Structure 1
Amino acid sequence: MKKGLSVLSAVLVLTAISCKKNESGNKSVIKTDSSETLVTDTNGKIDSVTQSSTITDINGNKFVKTDFVYKATDGTLVKVVFKNDPKESTVAITSNKKTFTLPKAETKGDETIYKKDDMTARVKGDSLHLEQGDNIIELKRTKI
Structure 2
Amino acid sequence: MKTNLLLATILLSLISVSCKKNEGGNKGVISESSSSETTVVDNNGTVDTLTTSTEQTSNDNQTMETSVAYKGLDGTRAKATFSSGKSGKTLVIESANSQKYQLDFKSKTADGEHYERNGVSANTKGDSLIISQGDTEIPLVKVK
TM-score of the pair, normalised by structure 1: 0.70
Identity of aligned residues (%): 32
| Count of matched residue positions in the alignment of Structure 1 and Structure 2 | 118
2:29 partner SS:
coil
In 2 relative to 1, CA 142–97 (structure 1 residues): closer, same or farther, beyond 3 Å? same
* Counterpart position of 2:52: 51
Q: What is the Cα deviation at residue 71 of structure 1? A: 0.2
* Counterpart position of 2:77: 77
Q: What is the Cα deviation at residue 61 of structure 1? A: 1.9
In 2 relative to 1, CA 39–88 (structure 1 residues): closer, same or farther, beyond 3 Å? farther
Q: What letter corresponds to residue 73 of structure 1 in structure 2?
A: L
* Counterpart position of 1:7: none
* Counterpart position of 1:93: 93
Compute the RMSD of aligned alpha carbons.
2.8
Give the whole-Å Cα distance in 2 for the aligned partners of 1:118 and 1:108: 19
TM-score of the pair, normalised by structure 2: 0.70
Give the whole-Å Cα distance in 2 for the aligned partners of 1:27 and 1:40: 38
2:142 counterpart of 1:141: yes
1:33 partner SS:
strand
Which one has a larger percent strand, Structure 1 or Structure 2? 2
Give the whole-Å Cα distance in 1 for the aligned partners of 2:110 and 2:135: 26
* Counterpart position of 1:13: none
Q: What is the Cα deviation at residue 52 of structure 1? A: 0.8
Q: What is the Cα deviation at residue 125 of structure 1? A: 1.0
Show structure 1 runs of 4+ deviating over 4 A. 36-41
Q: What is the Cα deviation at residue 39 of structure 1? A: 6.7
Q: What is the Cα deviation at residue 86 of structure 1? A: 1.5
**1:105-144 equivalence runs, <5 A:** 105-143=106-144
2:35 counterpart of 1:33: yes
Q: What letter corresponds to residue 87 of structure 1 in structure 2?
A: S
Q: What is the Cα deviation at residue 40 of structure 1? A: 9.0
User: Where do 5+ consecutive residues of structure 1 fail to align?
Assistant: 1-20
Give the whole-Å Cα distance in 2 for the aligned partners of 1:78 and 1:71: 6
Q: What is the Cα deviation at residue 26 of structure 1? A: 2.0
